[in-house]
Structures are given as structure tokens and as C-alpha cells.
Amino acid sequence: MNELITDYKLRITNKKYILLFASLLFTLLVLFIVDLVIGPVVIPAKEIITILFHKSSQNIAWINIINEFRLPKAITAIIAGAALAVSGLQMQTLFRNPLAGPFILGISSGAALGVSILILGGSLFSISAILAENTYAIIIAGCIGASAILLIMFLVSLRINNMMTVLILGMMLSSMINALVSFLQYFSSNTALKSYTIWTMGSLAGLDNAQIPILACITIIGFVIAVLFSHPLNILLLGEKYASSMGVNIKWTRIGIMISTSLLAGSITAFCGPLGFIGMSIPHVARKLMNTADHRILVPACILCGSIMMLFCDILASLPIYNQSLPINSVTSLIGAPIVIWIVLKPQKAER
Amino acid sequence: MTEKNSILSLKNVSIGYKQNQDENILLKNLSLEIENGKLICIIGRNGIGKSTLIKTISGMHKPINGNIFIDGIDVHLAPAKILASKISMVYTDKVDAENLSVYDLIAMGRYPYLSWLGILSNNDEGIVNKAISLSGIEKLKNRNITTLSDGERQKAMIARAIVQDTSIILLDEPTSHLDISGRLDVFITLKKLCQQENKTILLSTHQLDCALQFADEIWLISSDQEFISGHPKDAIITHAIGTEFNSNHLNFDAESGVFRYHYQI
């Protein structure tokens, strides 16, 4: 186990790696189909293929279910899983902390503040209840909240050199925002409270066919930045002191990674609500699976593993054994937290 | 014109820390010319400014005044990648990253020369393999760095600095965690680099015995913030080491270059 495959060129041409990536892709495809099959109404896989490729089916209702509901949900799951996993990977390397995740900079708290002001603040700030029910309004409120926090963290990290300090500031800011959200919850009506609670449980089903291209575009920009910074991220594994002695522009790398994470995790939280533990746990799965620290391998691996994990969670959440589908955030946490526990408990090779 | 082949020059440099109006100057008006292919050891007590001097020369820390030139380039004005092709660094800090192989760690030294995706050319691979054999760690090549001992890890970090292909290597207390044979290995490798590859090596250390045996030049920063430089055998250096470190319990023997301990329990 101590022998690692060295060098990027050898890795991308290595049979084991090609096989691994191929089997991940295959798993993704299978789970994608299963996700379309599973639901309150089970639609046979064969029918799904004909609906997807020939746009016809023996049951007209099934076409609607697939096109209007399950397909957007499955695509959202793929995008969300990939985006959260990549941003988690970036944060873990940037902060050199295995327990960092995409929300460490306060992104989800910021989005929660925006959404809670919209939903809960209705009575306080006389925002019309109609607006609070509108999905676009919720997405925009989430975006504004997340961007506001990110802007603060961004300005802070430009002035403060020590990333540990930035980390602590992010956590403290999140706590303060959560306190503000609690105030809003305390003063709000029962119905508003219920709809806010439902937002915090996350949902992959909230997006319609018009919103998915928007989300896809934002995340693709995030992925491109992640790929561009994957080589400097490798060097950052040695710490910022070594990285800057090797000519890595620490400031630009930090800015690039933070922009990428904001686009990825920020957009997902705004569109789908908070989705816990995927971003924290998947990078570890990818590292274990690929047995490398090379981000040029880990970024695509996280994209695949994250999508697979999110599809898997969505399938679990929408099994037809319940009356209605389970809240996705609880499922991702139930699946993701044990992975994090495994990371903490696994024997430390470095210690002798 | 009798200009020597100097690779590093310090012009009227004062080092220290500036915080708002407070200035804490550690060394004042230092002017030096350093020739190619020398092994220079910086010695002095803890907190006297050895690391600050190294950081300032490396361009990571701004001097209070003065300029530092490497190959005629001002280190505090040079773009990061240009500077990285002139100076490489080895720190005391233990580097730990999961699933990182020794080869990949060493190959990272090529960063200043690679395109954004960082794919090594055959030439780059040749340089990496040469550095691996220079530091005698062929057997460790495919090992995970978390499985290395401190000594092996420091050799890998030095190989990474060699790969960076710079004329100057700066090392900040590279031997501080190492046992006696590890220390010796590091000093032998560094000496080899000076003699065979004509590199200029500047390191801070508390291992006076090694420093006095291997260095071509000693820089001593004394407790009264004086900078004294010279060959390890120079009377001026041996005298300065004596005055700097001698106490009731410690006596530096200039003849043999070792310390004698006096104590009673």
C-alpha cells in the first residue's frame, strides 16, 4: 500500500485509473436511471429509455412525471453533488484541514439569513406572503445572503494572512448569523416557521426546467476555475510558505479558489437549500479511491463521486416505501456523517 | 576592474519588524557580496534574527531599508515565478499531506517552469531523477511521505529544492529535528551540492559543530546585534563564538572547535 503511482502522466495513462474512472462513470449512469425509476410511481427502466430518446410512452402521465419532475431533480442532484464535493476539496486543501467543507466560510449561514429574512421577516418587514412562496424570490434571497457573507470573508482574507484566523472568523460570523436567524424564528408565525424549516431541509426538486441551465452555467464556471487552480492547489499541500517559495501566487490562488467555492457552494445552497456533509466527506472518499493527492485527478474524481453520492441519497429519499420523499438534507447528513466518523477514526499512518 | 563573481549581494540592508510606528531593528546596514559555490552557516542564539535574515533574503519579508540582489535582480521587486527560479527554500516545518508520493513532492519543485497543468517533460523528469540520486533517496521514490522518518523527509525536501534549479538554496534550521546521522547526511548533501553543482547555500543552524566543519563561511549574529563573518578557522570567528556562547558551564575551545561542558551536580 505504500507504493504510490507517481507522476501525472503515468497516472492518466495507467490502466487502473482509467478503469476506476470508467466504473465511476458507469455507476453514475446506472444510478441516474435508477433515480428516474424510483418514486411514488415506479416507472420501468425500459420505459425511461423510450421517454428520454423517443419522447413517447405507453403512459402519457409517465412522460410528464419524467420530464417535469424526475429528470430536473436527477440533473440537479448530479450538479449539486459535484459542486459541493469540489468546493469541499478546495476548502480542505486551502485550510489544510480535513474537516473543512464548502460551508466553512459561512456560505450556508449567509444564504439562510437571506432566506429567513424573506420567509420569516414577512410580518416584521411587511414583505408580501406571495413573494415568500415564490421559488425565484427564495433563490435570489439566498444568493444575496450568501454573496454578502462571502464578500465580507473575501475582504477579510485579503487583509489577513493567516488562514487559521480567516477560518475562525468564518465560524464566528456563522454563529452570529445563526443567532440572528433564531431571533427571526422566535418572532415569526407558525406557517412562516414551517416553510423556513422546510427550506433548511433542502430540496433537489425545487428547480424547473428553466432554472437548471442557470444553475448549470454558474457551476460550470466554478468547475473551470477549480481545474485552472488544480496544479497550484497541489503545491499548496506543502503549506503556503513552501508554495510561495516555489512561485505560487498565494493571493491569486486564494482569490480564485474562494470565487470557485462561492459559485459552486453558494449557487447550490441558494437553489437547493443547505445540503450537509457531502462536501466534507466526498473528497476523502475520492482521495481513498484514487490513492493520490493530485488535484488534477481529485477534481474530476470529486465531480463523479459527488454526483454518485447525491443521486444515491436522492434514491434513498424517494423510495416508494414512504408516503412522501424524505428531506434530502437529513439523508445526506445520515450518509455523510458516518464517512466523516470513519475519517476521524481511521488509524493515522503518520503517527509512530 | 576586479569585480568578483558574486551571486548574492546585500546593499545597506537593515532587517527587522515594523509595526505602525514601532521599529524593531535586528541588524543594521548590512552590506555583503556572496560568491558562487559557497556553503554559509548562520549561527547565533535563539530569537536573534537568523530566520528573519533568511526570510528577508528570500524575498518573503521586507527589509526596513536597503536592497537585496540576486543575479542583479532585486528580490523584493521580482515576480514570484522569476524569484522562484533564483532561490529555493527548505524550512523546519514538517510537511504532511495524505497520499503524496516522494516523487510527486520532489517534482513539485519544477513548478516555476511548468505550464498551468504542470505536466513534466522528459527533461523535467531527468532533473527530478538526478536530484533523487544526488540526495541518495532512490529507494524512497514511490513511498507515501507520511511514512517517512524526519530525516528522510528533510532529504526529500532538499531534493525538491535541488529540482527547483536555483543558484541559491536557503535553509532555515534544516537539521533541527534530526538525529546525529540525519544531520550529517544533510550537511554532506549540501556540501556536495556546493562543490559539484556550484550552488550557493545559506543555512541557519544551532549545530555549531557541523557548521564549523562544513561551512566555507560563518555568519554570526551576536547578542548585541553585531554581524560577524569569516572562515570557520578565522580567529575573529572563533573568538566571537567564544564570547557569544561561553558561560560558567560552557567553554569554546578554539583549537579543536568544540565546546567543553563544566558542571557540578
How many residues in total does chain A contain?
A: 352
Q: Please state, in angstroms and rounded to a whole number, the distance separating the CA atoms of residues B252 and B241.
A: 7
Q: At what angle do helices B122-134 and B150-163 cross, to 10 degrees?
A: 140
Task: Say whether residue A351 is in contact with chain B using an 8 A CB cutoff.
Answer: no
Q: Please state, in angstroms and rounded to a whole number, the distance separating the CA atoms of residues B137 and B148.
A: 11
Q: Do A247 and B81 touch (CB under 8 A)?
A: yes
B241: closest CA of chain A, how far (Å): 31
Q: Please state, in angstroms and rounded to a whole number, the distance separating the CA atoms of residues B76 and B60.
A: 8
Q: Do B101 and A350 touch (CB under 8 A)?
A: no
Query: What would the grid cell of residue B189 be?
Result: 548533501
Q: Do B116 and A235 touch (CB under 8 A)?
A: no
Among the partner-chain residues A241, A294, A350, the one whose CB lies closest to the CB of B104 is A294
B183-242 residues touching A, CB cutoff 8 A: none
| CA A171 from centre of chain | 18
Task: Say whether residue A234 is in contact with chain B using an 8 A CB cutoff.
Answer: yes
| CA A123 from centre of chain | 32
DSSP B119: P
Burial environment of residue A168 by CB neighbours within 10 A (0 to 12, 13 to 18, 19 or more): exposed
Class of domain B1-86+167-265: alpha beta
B178 Cβ contact partners less than 8 Å away, ≥ 6 residues apart:
B150, B151, B154, B186
A93: closest CA of chain B, how far (Å): 9
Task: Say whether residue B118 is in contact with chain A using an 8 A CB cutoff.
Answer: yes
A238: closest CA of chain B, how far (Å): 6
For residue A63, what is the enclosing H or E element? helix A60-64
B142: closest CA of chain A, how far (Å): 5
* Residue A96, φ and ψ in degrees, nearest 5: 45, 45
* Residue B260, φ and ψ in degrees, nearest 5: -110, 135
Which residue out of A4, A290, A351 would a mutagenesis test of the B interface target, given it has the greatest number of B Cβ atoms within 10 Å?
A: A4
A79 Cβ contact partners less than 8 Å away, ≥ 6 residues apart:
A212, A215, A216, A219, A268, A307
A9 Cβ contact partners less than 8 Å away, ≥ 6 residues apart:
B119, B120
Which residue out of A95, A245, A297 would a mutagenesis test of the B interface target, given it has the greatest number of B Cβ atoms within 10 Å?
A: A245
**Neighboring chain A residues of B104 at a CB cutoff of 8 Å:** 4, 6-7, 234, 293-294
**Neighboring chain A residues of B101 at a CB cutoff of 8 Å:** 4-6
Q: Give average pLDDT by consecutive 10-residue segment, chain B, 265 residues.
A: 70 88 86 91 91 92 91 90 93 86 93 87 91 91 90 93 94 90 92 93 92 92 90 86 84 80 78
C-alpha distances in Å from residue A352, one per residue of A239, B146, B147: 22, 10, 9
Which pLDDT score is estimated for B2? 40
Q: Do A350 and B96 touch (CB under 8 A)?
A: yes
Q: Please state, in angstroms and rounded to a whole number, the distance separating the CA atoms of residues A308 and A278.
A: 11
β-pairing verdict for B168-172 and B200-204? parallel
For residue B2, what is the enclosing H or E element? none
Binning chain B into helix, strand and coil, the percentages to the nearest 5 are 35, 30, 35
DSSP-assigned beta bridge partners for residue B89: B170
**Neighboring chain A residues of B111 at a CB cutoff of 8 Å:** 231, 235, 246-248
Q: Do A246 and B97 touch (CB under 8 A)?
A: no
Q: Per-residue confidence of chain A (352 residues) as pLDDT tens digits?
A: 445 666 666 666 778 888 999 999 999 999 999 999 988 888 888 888 888 888 777 888 888 888 888 999 999 999 999 999 999 999 999 988 888 888 888 888 998 999 888 888 766 666 556 666 677 888 888 888 888 888 888 888 888 878 788 888 888 999 999 999 999 888 888 888 888 888 899 989 888 888 899 999 999 999 999 999 999 999 999 998 999 999 999 888 988 998 899 889 989 998 899 998 999 999 999 998 888 889 999 999 999 999 999 999 999 999 888 778 889 999 999 999 998 888 778 765 444 3
Task: Say whether residue B105 is in contact with chain A using an 8 A CB cutoff.
Answer: yes
Task: Say whether residue A242 is in contact with chain B using an 8 A CB cutoff.
Answer: yes
CA angle centred on B202, ends B201 and B207, rounded to 5°: 110
Task: Say whether residue B1 is in contact with chain A using an 8 A CB cutoff.
Answer: no
B74 Cβ contact partners less than 8 Å away, ≥ 6 residues apart:
B67, B68
Task: Say whether residue A12 is in contact with chain B using an 8 A CB cutoff.
Answer: no
Helices (H), B135-215: 150-163, 180-197, 208-214
ipTM: 0.91
Among the partner-chain residues B81, B120, B146, the one whose CB lies closest to the CB of A349 is B146
Closest of B142, B107, B108, B109 to residue B125, by C-alpha: B107
Give the DSSP letter string of A313-339. HHHHHT-TTSSSPPPHHHHHHHHHHHH
* Residue B183, φ and ψ in degrees, nearest 5: -60, -45
Return the domain boundaries, chain B.
1-86+167-265, 94-165
Domains, chain A, in order of start with CATH, read 102-274 (1.10.3470.10)
Three-state secondary structure call for residue B258: strand
**Neighboring chain A residues of B147 at a CB cutoff of 8 Å:** 2, 349-350
Q: Do A246 and B108 touch (CB under 8 A)?
A: yes
Q: Do A247 and B83 touch (CB under 8 A)?
A: yes
Q: What is the pLDDT of residues A36-48, one digit of tens each?
A: 998 888 888 888 8
Q: Please state, in angstroms and rounded to a whole number, the distance separating the CA atoms of residues B58 and B77.
A: 12
Residue identified by cell 530525516 is B151
- Whether residue B47 contacts residue B130, with contact meaning beta carbons closer than 8 Å, is answered with no
